[in-house]
Every structure is written in structure tokens, then in C-alpha cells.
């Protein structure tokens, strides 16, 4: 005959687990001997091993007794049901792991792979990290609204980044964000931007255009975060271009050419 400690050791569980199984009715509790101790036989060891095996396999304790008492067919059906539940839990946990991995990877949390690759390329060509982060946040807004358009936008941005002048302009724009609204250098910046704009065919502006409400939201971020933004937009209008997110070339009467 075995003590409760010996029983637990034979079955590979803790004494606390044995007592819990007694309390829940899974394992019958034997009578105490004259010394006041519970004594267990080999059958108790076998029963405890079966309980532990089912519990370790993921069977809820509330169903262990059902499976222990089931016939072969009922047991097989119950095990299949438990297996389906475990597979569903595994899929759910795997999805959680993928979300955690995206959290750890930073840019890819809310952006598709092509956008992450574009941001990485900005870093490679020397665009300062604050500028990259500003681009990231803007593209997160776009991706949330227009996920199907992201491959096209990223292809266009990648083509623009092939131009050395665009790469230089990106690097310089970080410095510009700290300039006051009356900085005399803004005129030269506007000239450089217009020089880049003139290389873009008229039809390309419409192809790359974002919905007006989204463009206004992004423009508002630019205007609120960059002290010289309003002055720079005014200078661009003086040179025939309007907008920041959806840039348009103006006609001779001040209207937007090619605007929808």
C-alpha cells in the first residue's frame, strides 16, 4: 500500500494535484488507516496515470471523468472533439504570435511588405529617421483606407526614389521642417520642388491622387507639424502648383489642371 506522496511520485504528479483530483471527484478518496493516513493500491496508481495523461493532452478536467468512463466509440468521438478544440487553440495562438512578431518588427505592424521595403530603402539612401517615421505614419493612414492601392503607390514612390534629385530633396526636407515661416531659403526649396514636379507627366498626378478627405487629413498633419508649411505651400502656388499630398499644376487662371 502507498502513501499519498508515494502515489504522486509513481504517477508523476504533485501531492497537491492528487488532493485536487480528490476534491473534484476525479480520483476516489480511500479510507484512512488506523494511523489516520490514506493508503493507495496499484489500481489508484493506474487511475491517476490515466487522469494525468488526459490532462496533459489538453483534455479539460471537467471532461476527464467522461472520457474515463466512455466506451471505445464514445472515447474516440470525445478525443476527436478535444483534438479539434486544441487545433483551433493552436491556430489562435499562432495568430497571436504573428501579431507579436509584427509588433516587434516595427514598420510591418500596420503596413504591407512593399511599404516596409520602401521605408527601408529610404533609410539606405540616407533619409533621416524622423523623416522616415513621418512617411511611415502617413502610409499607415493610406494603407488603412486604400489597402488595394498600396502596391501601386509603392511602385510609384520607388520610381521617384530612383532619381538622385529626389533622394537629395528627401534628405534636405528634414532640415526644412525646423525652419521658421519667414526663412528666406524657402524660395529656393520651392524652386527645387517645382523642378521635380515638372518632370512628372500631368496624367501621373491623377493616377497617384488620394481621396480628397484623406489628402486633407495628411495635409493638415503637414501644416500643423511644420512651422514653414503654410508659407511653402503659398510659394508653390506662386509657381503654379497647389496642394501637398495631392499636388496639382494650376492653369493660367489659377484653377487646378487635371484635378478630379
Q: What is the pLDDT along the chain (260 residues), one digit of tens a residue?
A: 888 999 999 889 999 999 999 998 889 888 888 888 888 988 899 899 989 888 888 888 888 888 888 888 888 887 788 788 888 888 888 877 766 665 555 666 678 889 989 999 988 888 888 888 888 888 988 998 899 999 999 998 888 889 888 888 887 788 888 899 999 999 999 998 898 888 877 676 677 788 888 888 888 888 888 899 999 999 999 999 988 888 888 864 344 444 32
pLDDT at 259: 36
Domain ends where: 103, 135, 160? 103
Answer whether 0.85 is exceeded by the pTM: no
pLDDT at 105: 55
Same domain (yes/no): 80, 139 = no
Q: Answer whether 170's CB lies under 8 Å from 122's CB.
A: yes
pLDDT at 107: 66
Same domain (yes/no): 125, 249 = yes
Same domain (yes/no): 150, 36 = no
Same domain (yes/no): 93, 113 = no
State the Cα–Cα distance between residues 105 and 42, nearest whole angstrom. 54
Domain ends where: 79, 103, 127? 103
Segment (H or E) for 250: strand 248-250
pLDDT at 258: 42
Q: Which spans in 106-128 are helix H?
A: 113-124
Domain that holds residue 158: 106-257
Domain ends where: 50, 68, 103? 103
Same domain (yes/no): 112, 141 = yes
pLDDT at 18: 92
68, with CB counted inside 10 A (0-12, 13-18, 19+), is middle
Same domain (yes/no): 69, 110 = no
Q: Are strands 241-242 and 256-257 parallel, antiparallel or unpaired?
A: unpaired
Rg (the chain; Cα; Å): 34
Task: Look up the CATH number of the domain holding residue 79.
Answer: 1.10.1660.10
Amino acid at each position: 500500500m502507498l502513501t499519498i506522496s508515494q502515489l504522486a511520485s509513481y504517477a508523476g504528479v504533485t501531492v497537491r494535484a492528487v488532493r485536487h483530483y480528490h476534491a473534484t471527484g476525479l480520483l476516489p478518496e480511500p479510507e484512512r488507516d488506523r494511523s489516520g493516513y490514506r493508503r493507495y493500491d496499484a489500481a489508484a496508481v493506474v487511475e491517476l496515470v490515466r487522469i494525468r495523461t488526459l490532462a496533459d493532452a489538453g483534455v479539460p478536467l471537467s471532461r476527464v471523468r467522461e472520457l474515463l468512463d466512455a466506451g471505445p466509440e464514445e472515447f474516440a468521438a470525445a478525443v476527436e472533439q478535444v483534438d479539434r478544440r486544441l487545433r483551433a487553440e493552436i491556430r489562435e495562438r499562432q495568430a497571436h504570435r504573428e501579431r507579436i512578431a509584427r509588433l516587434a518588427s516595427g514598420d510591418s505592424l500596420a503596413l504591407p511588405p512593399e511599404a516596409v521595403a520602401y521605408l527601408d530603402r529610404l533609410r539606405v539612401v540616407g533619409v533621416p529617421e524622423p523623416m522616415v517615421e513621418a512617411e511611415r505614419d502617413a502610409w499607415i493612414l493610406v494603407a488603412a483606407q486604400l489597402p488595394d492601392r498600396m502596391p501601386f503607390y509603392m511602385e510609384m514612390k520607388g520610381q521617384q526614389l530612383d532619381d538622385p534629385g529626389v533622394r537629395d530633396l528627401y534628405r534636405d526636407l528634414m532640415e526644412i521642417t525646423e525652419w521658421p515661416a519667414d526663412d528666406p531659403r524657402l524660395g529656393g526649396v520651392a524652386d527645387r520642388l517645382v523642378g521635380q514636379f515638372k518632370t512628372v507627366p500631368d496624367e501621373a498626378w491623377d493616377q497617384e491622387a488620394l481621396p480628397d478627405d484623406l489628402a486633407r487629413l495628411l495635409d493638415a498633419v503637414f501644416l500643423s507639424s511644420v512651422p514653414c508649411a503654410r508659407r511653402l505651400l503659398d510659394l508653390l502656388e506662386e509657381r503654379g502648383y497647389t496642394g501637398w499630398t495631392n499636388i496639382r499644376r494650376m492653369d493660367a487662371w489659377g484653377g487646378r489642371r487635371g484635378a478630379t
